[in-house]
Amino acid sequence: MSDALAQEFVAFSVKSGVLRFGEFKTKAGRLSPYFFNAGLFDDGAKLGRLAEFYARRLVASGLPFDMLFGPAYKGITLAAAVSIELARLGHNKPFAYNRKEAKDHGEGGTLVGAPVKGRVLIIDDVISAGTSVRESIAMIQAVGATPCGVTIALDRQEKATDSSGAEQSWSAVQYVQQQIGMPVCAIATLADLLDYLARTQETTLQAHLPAVRAYRARYGV
């Protein structure tokens, strides 16, 4: 069954130029037929729509949380934008984020924003290796709060690689869910992207379907 919110999000990402097709080298050294660059949600209108998708997915998921935490750097903008949209929908939640470098003057420390306490939801664009998630969990636990989940824009649903580059049987999202024990809430997945390409009437987009299917068959979980 097609997920209407996910389909809407994929269409928006393609239209915004955030989701592109062609040949792109991933961090793992794979040649991917698509590339999702959340850094290109780079104006008020696009960022507002992105926040709307996150907020709608979170509200629909029923995942309980008390505040948002955005890991530096992309997570900072996401946490702020999504907290605004959640408040607009009647769910006013505080947010915080971290600095890459600790500040030794003013309020000091590495955490900025609302006091980090209660059930803390980590927000990011994608989960590539789970490293950022582990770092965020450590920061949240260090101040006595409880990390309760992760929300991302796109789940690539592909096999992770370890530090030596060896291919794993699980994806980075599955690692976070199964090994770390943290629920992950994604706006859309690679399966949703394939569904979109299969349904679109635009022949230029349809043309990329075989390559994305082949990539999923080779690297998918």
Active-site residue set: 103, 105
b/e per residue 28-50 (b: at least 16 CB within 10 A)? eeeebbbebebeebeeeebbebb
d(CA 211, CA 97): 38
The values of phi and psi at residue 67, to 5°, are -160, 165
Residue 5 structure tokens: 């919110």
Alpha helices for 101-162 (secondary structure H): 131-142
